[in-house]
Amino acid sequence: MLSMEFADLGEWVEPVLYVDDGTGFSESLAIRLPSARGGRISRLVHLPPTIHALRLDPMAKPGRVRVSAFSIQPITSLAALRHALDELDGDMAVALSRCAGHHQENSRKVGISRDEYAQWIAHHDTLSEEQHREIAEDISHMKAGPTFSVVMPVYNTHLPWLKEAIDSVTGQLYPHWELLLVNDASPNADVAPFLDGIAATDRRIRVAHRKVNGGIVAASNDALSMATGDWVVTVDHDDRMPAHAFYHLATAAIGNPDAGILYTDHDHLTPAGERDNPYFKPDWNYELALGQNLVNHLSAFRREDVLRVGGFREGFDGSQDWDLLLRLVEKVPPEGIIHIPHVLYHWRIAGGNFSQTQAKRSWDAGQRAVEEHLARTGQEAEVHSGANSAGHLAIRWRLPDDPPLVSIVIPTRDRLDLLRQCVDGLLHRTDYPKIEILIVDNGSVEPETHAWYKSMAGEARLRVLDAAGEFNFSHLCNRGVGASNGDVYLLLNNDIDVIHPDWLSEMVSHALRPGIGAVGAKLYYPDGTIQHGGVILGIGGVAGHAHTFLPQGADGYQGRARLTQRLSAVTAACLAGRKDVYNKVGGFNEKDLKVAFNDVDFCLRVREAGYGIIWTPLAELFHHESASRGADTNPEKAARFAREVNYMTRKWNKQLQNDPFYSPHFSLSGHMPAFSVSLDRDLG
């Protein structure tokens, strides 16, 4: 148990505890604590078994701080478990990771530092001579391997960078490719002879020279017209690929004969040529791909499909690949979109390419691409720019003219201060027109609570259901949904408070979409930092929350804290869905998961039934996360919690080890914030 006190000197303190386990201090063993401007922090932290030294950095930048007290007291595992159980309420997705200390880490750290990434590259992304031989042998046994047509428009490129880009194609271990270079009337007179000289060295390279500059779309279509391969791959004229990139594309194409789209992870090249800022992507995520150009580089599309949709479209320069993707998605089913979780593209950030020099034009083109895709597919939604600092988009889905009744189910026991605030937000600060509130009372004993119930008897939109007896959160939810009249339900903790009036409209607009089974919201602690940004499977053993402790408005990892997306699970502290789907999967599990992880289990069963889970950051609420039933740390409760953990790991072990909306390269350790690169997980 770590405790510290510091004075409020007007500056934010961002304490980090560094641990030396014998290998020196590093970011990989850094424990980030919640930021504050003063006061006391008392937190459970998990330390490695061997400690040589500890170092406390109170602030991340120069400033004033006065620490008046600091202590670390060892406690037993049982005491740690009881400490976590003291805080448990209906929101159980994070329970196990709390016991591991994950909730005490300050996840304000976003992204992966260059040092951390360099370690990861050394461990997982540097081919040995033996691996080169194994790949070569594997390629020799491939039968009827596909041919990749590499489309590379060229315009006034810095020749050393152009040579690197071309060399990264000619140096591929997989030999079945053709490189189609189109010189888009480059003013630099050295470009044309350079390309002609390159073409003379390899019959797989073909060059065309445009007399008039037509832009990236025109040059790409010229290259496409020369293509003869099975797949089209787009590569910028100043970027690089590792030697095994096409090998992985070929392996995926052969292993997925019905696939139409392949895509990989990517990173950036600094001006000095160092690799930085990796994007470890999730598997196919439709909503995320509407908010950002998710697939991007490196990607491969079946040539026949690209030709069928008309190639690249004029007027979408800078986002021409995003527009092409969305038109292809209309033809290729989700199971035909294959993510290859390897960093197979190095994107230069200092090249002066179109999307960098004309970012606003590119972003506008991306927004039009999404708008036209939605119109073509008959989906009624508005597209808004400025979802975050990277030109990402926010999609607002339209409600029907006559929206359905929403039944809001609130399990509670006393804590009238919280409940009254919650209900006030629903009745007076929420703009959704048709709601009923079902308060499922689990044995409240305080006279004030029952007096308030009587005072609300005249409110036609509110009912109180008696559900006295043993606390069983799953039963309380099922009781409320079973007694509801609405076509849409909303499970809501009694300590949720409204921020913006349109939150419920946002959630219902997703819940009514075909194929969507459950919807979660973005929840904040009272200090404005994120409490719930979706659930990631496997963290700490079962599940943990994403983006925890990031400040309100933060983009998060690659923008994902501010982009609507599919996830494997969301918290039942605020969970909406259609009642028919709830009944179809049998509601919450009252027998095996009375308190913990029932929301995760429910979402996994919803996904198993073929429905998607949506997390939307456009529905924002405060979550005070108070345990309205009070502390209860008896041995029976600890034993029940252990049984529920065991049930989840037995039933869902495969899913917990491989969340498709996370990445196999990220840590599942309870010590690390979500989206922390792991040196221990290896794809082989």
Return the structure tokens found at 215. Answer: 């832009």
Q: How many residues does the chain have?
A: 684
Instruction: Please state, in angstroms and rounded to a whole number, the distance separating the CA atoms of residues 486 and 465.
Output: 16
Give burial (CB, 10 Å; 0-12/13-18/19+) of 228: exposed
Instruction: Please state, in angstroms and rounded to a whole number, the distance separating the CA atoms of residues 164 and 116.
Output: 25
At 678, is the pLDDT very low, low, confident or very high (cuts 50, 70, 90)? confident
Q: In the predicted model, is pLDDT for residue 106 greater than 50?
A: no
* DSSP secondary structure, 595-648, as one string: SSSHHHHHHHHHHHTT-EEEEEEEEEEEE----TT-----HHHHHHHHHHHHHH
Question: Which of helix, strand or coil describes residue 474?
Answer: helix
pLDDT for the residue 10: 63
The mean pLDDT value for 120-124 works out to: 91
Give the pairing type, strands 67-72 and 148-154: unpaired
Sign of torsion, CA 105 106 110 113? negative
pLDDT for the residue 116: 87
Instruction: Please state, in angstroms and rounded to a whole number, the distance separating the CA atoms of residues 322 and 312.
Output: 10
Instruction: Please state, in angstroms and rounded to a whole number, the distance separating the CA atoms of residues 176 and 231.
Output: 11
Task: Indicate the CATH number for domain 406-657.
Answer: 3.90.550.60
Question: Which of helix, strand or coil describes residue 679?
Answer: coil
pLDDT above 90 coverage of the chain, percent: 71
pLDDT for the residue 632: 45
144-190 residue pLDDT tens = 899 999 999 999 999 999 999 999 999 999 999 999 999 999 999 99
Q: In the predicted model, is pLDDT for residue 630 greater than 60?
A: no
Return the structure tokens found at 396. Answer: 């607002």
Sign of torsion, CA 290 579 609 657? positive
Instruction: Please state, in angstroms and rounded to a whole number, the distance separating the CA atoms of residues 34 and 451.
Output: 39
Q: In the predicted model, is pLDDT for residue 80 greater than 70?
A: no
**Long-range contacts formed by 28-34: CB under 8 A, 24+ apart:** 28/116, 28/119, 28/679, 30/109, 31/101, 31/104, 31/105, 31/671, 32/105, 32/106, 32/107, 32/108, 32/109, 32/549, 32/673, 33/2, 33/104, 33/105, 33/106, 34/106, 34/527, 34/529, 34/549
CATH class of domain segment(s) 129-349: alpha beta
Write the CA distances from 678 to 48, 55, 447, 505, integer angstroms.
Answer: 16, 22, 52, 38
Q: Give the chain's count of helices (H) and strands (E).
A: 21, 28
446-481 residue pLDDT tens = 999 999 999 999 999 999 999 999 999 999 999 999
Identify whether 298 is preceded by a cis peptide bond (ω within 30 of 0).
yes
- Rounded to two decimals, what is the model's pTM? 0.83
Q: In the predicted model, is pLDDT for residue 69 greater than 80?
A: yes
Q: Say how many CA atoms lie within 13 Å of 368 toward its Cβ.
A: 15
CB atoms within 10 A of CB 251: 19
Return the structure tokens found at 162. Answer: 């152009």
Ranges 171-175, 517-521, 569-573, 621-625: which has the least confidence: 621-625
pLDDT for the residue 51: 86
Element containing residue 135 per DSSP (H, E): helix 129-140
Return the structure tokens found at 397. Answer: 């889905």
Residue 89 neighbours by CB under 8 Å, 6+ apart: 493, 495, 573, 625, 626, 627, 628, 629
Q: Say how many CA atoms lie within 13 Å of 516 toward its Cβ.
A: 27
At 566, is the pLDDT very low, low, confident or very high (cuts 50, 70, 90)? very high
Question: Which of helix, strand or coil describes residue 581?
Answer: helix
| Span between the terminal Cα atoms of the chain, in Å | 38
CB atoms within 10 A of CB 14: 20
Q: What are phi and psi of 439, to 5 degrees?
A: -90, 115
The mean pLDDT value for 82-95 works out to: 45
Residue type, 521: A
Write the CA distances from 408 to 128, 156, 213, 516, integer angstroms.
Answer: 57, 60, 59, 19
The mean pLDDT value for 406-414 works out to: 97
pLDDT for the residue 482: 97
pLDDT above 70 coverage of the chain, percent: 87
Ranges 18-32, 231-245, 422-436, 611-625: which has the least confidence: 18-32
At 294, is the pLDDT very low, low, confident or very high (cuts 50, 70, 90)? very high
What is residue 273's DSSP assignment?
A: S
Instruction: Please state, in angstroms and rounded to a whole number, the distance separating the CA atoms of residues 331 and 324.
Output: 11
pLDDT for the residue 394: 95
pLDDT for the residue 68: 82
Block residue for tokens 């007399």:
211
Give the pairing type, strands 516-524 and 67-72: unpaired
Ranges 6-15, 378-387, 449-458: which has the least confidence: 6-15
Alpha helices in 377-446 (DSSP H): 416-428
At 95, is the pLDDT very low, low, confident or very high (cuts 50, 70, 90)? very low
529-549 residue pLDDT tens = 999 999 999 998 899 999 999
pLDDT for the residue 70: 85
Question: Which of helix, strand or coil describes residue 106?
Answer: coil
pLDDT for the residue 94: 44
Closest CA to 94 of 496, 566, 471, 570: 570
Instruction: Please state, in angstroms and rounded to a whole number, the distance separating the CA atoms of residues 64 and 70.
Output: 17
Closest CA to 573 of 626, 529, 528: 626
At 90, is the pLDDT very low, low, confident or very high (cuts 50, 70, 90)? very low
At 684, is the pLDDT very low, low, confident or very high (cuts 50, 70, 90)? low
Closest CA to 334 of 256, 245, 233, 235: 256
43-61 residue pLDDT tens = 777 777 778 888 888 875 5
Question: Which of helix, strand or coil describes residue 30?
Answer: strand
Question: Which of helix, strand or coil describes residue 515?
Answer: coil
Block residue for tokens 């030999």:
175
pLDDT for the residue 416: 94
Q: In the predicted model, is pLDDT for residue 260 greater than 50?
A: yes
Element containing residue 217 per DSSP (H, E): helix 215-225
pLDDT for the residue 157: 92
